[in-house]
Copies of this chain bind each other. A is one copy, B any other.
């Protein structure tokens, strides 16, 4: 067996163990009774250790060296080897002492955060958050040295491989200079129009589920290879052959459950469209969190919140709830789905203000990783930025810098992927519409086949054979920028 083949064998086992963990994560969120939590943590920790041991085996580095010197790898095999090297680098950059210290600091900080947020007590989180940040900065430096990256980029690379903050700065700075003024215009425009009519519930959750399933089938979700269930936070989990998506039903409003199901279906279609040939190899996986988010946002925000698709879906929605009347016309449902209202909370934000929440966090976390912003100064910096971006001042830290778990469980470098996804969704949807004449008419009759086919050919089936930026450039003719997203916002919110 060649060194390359042996690497494929080892990474396949690694992938299988990660798949097992993915199934258990789904079970944890959807099925597990509360008393099972500690046992489950032990199961997941064991899987982590066993999978990690594959990556830190001293023989792996030698195999990667040997395979790199060999001739005859085809481009996919070459890309696979590059991904193996990147994954190996991340796994071996951080010594086991630091891994253990990070894990302890992260658990302690996350636990402290739950209390601090509930009791709106930022002071209580300062010490554990500083400890976690210190360990994370060590980890960022170690990763950066191994991978030839700056500290922040080394963290970012875990979530969006190949993404670099220098490029993200340009794109997000441009958006940051556009959005605050644009938001004012949207609010003025919205105020000039009569408010959309409210839809009166209650909405039976069984009927909501039936509607979600019917819409998911319309989009091409294959229920022989996946499920829809309920969890506290909607997510897309499982494995490509068995994608487990979740939503959450509210009897007072069916739109959140429906839009979450459509959003997660976007993620699911990416997983279901990955290249079979490279299943269980690094090159065969989804590219990164940002590109993954582009697929969910393309489906939810670009396609399903648009006028065309809602003209198709409105009769299904009316049927689902036995409803009728002006409020249930497609145009009113469309207008309900694009209401803009600046608020304190990121996860409740609309499409226009969401990027401002992200850019704020991106700038602050870069400063924290660079050592330019201390944890104790975070509330002040946060509140200043909220005033600048959204004209709002949080009443307290619970609705300010304590609202998200990310920094308190160690996920620095994750936030920008949300907005990179939104920008990529707009750019890809525009390119798809250019390539597919009559795409709007397709969506107006619930036909997603050409759109999903285009996404599969240009994104899904390429796995991780290129970076996200290379994939986007190949699919749209240029690297990621904010132009398509801005055009989309102008059309939708000022049209």
**Interface residue ranges, A against B (CB under 8 Å):** 13, 16-17, 19-20, 23-24, 27, 31-36, 38-40, 42-43, 46-47, 49-50, 222-227, 238-242, 280
Contact = CB atoms under 8 A, between A and B. Distances in A.
Given A39-B239, A242-B40, A23 B33 contact: no
A23 B20 CA distance: 10
B241 A38 contact: yes
Nearest to A272: B35
Nearest to A33: B224
Contacts of A32: 242
Residue among A40, A239, A241, A280 with max Cβ neighbours from chain B (10 Å): A241
Contacts of A225: 33, 35-36
Contacts of A34: 224
A194 B110 CA distance: 68
A40 B241 CA distance: 9
A402 to B, nearest CB: 29
A25 to B, nearest CB: 11
Given A27-B27, A50-B50, A16 B33 contact: no
A23 B43 contact: yes
B24 A39 contact: no
Number of copies: 2
A158 to B, nearest CB: 24
Given A27-B27, A31-B227, A35-B222, 10 more contacts: A17-B46, A19-B39, A19-B43, A20-B20, A20-B24, A20-B47, A33-B224, A33-B225, A39-B240, A39-B241
Contact of A42 (B16, B222, B223): B16
Going nearest first, the 3 A-B pairs with the smallest beta carbon separation are A36-B242, A35-B225, A16-B46
Contact of A242 (B20, B39, B224): B39
Nearest to A242: B36
Contacts of A223: 33
Contact of A20 (B35, B38, B43, B227): B43
A33 B239 contact: no
A226 B36 CA distance: 8
Nearest to A30: B31
Nearest to A44: B20
A132 to B, nearest CB: 27
B224 A13 contact: no
20 contacts: A13-B50, A16-B46, A19-B43, A20-B20, A20-B46, A20-B47, A23-B23, A33-B223, A33-B224, A33-B226, A35-B224, A35-B225, A35-B226, A35-B241, A36-B242, A39-B239, A39-B240, A39-B242, A40-B242, A42-B280
A33 to B, nearest CB: 5
Contacts of A242: 32-33, 35-36, 39-40
A240 B39 CA distance: 9
Nearest to A22: B43
Nearest to A40: B242
Nearest to A224: B35
A241 to B, nearest CB: 4
A493 to B, nearest CB: 39
Nearest to A42: B16
Contacts of A47: 20
Most chain B CB neighbours (cut-off 10 Å) among A19, A33, A222: A33
A251 to B, nearest CB: 19
Nearest to A222: B35
A16 B48 CA distance: 12
Contacts of A36: 225, 238-239, 241-242
Given A23-B43, A33-B242, A35-B241, A17 B50 contact: yes
A430 to B, nearest CB: 33
Contacts of A43: 16, 19-20, 23
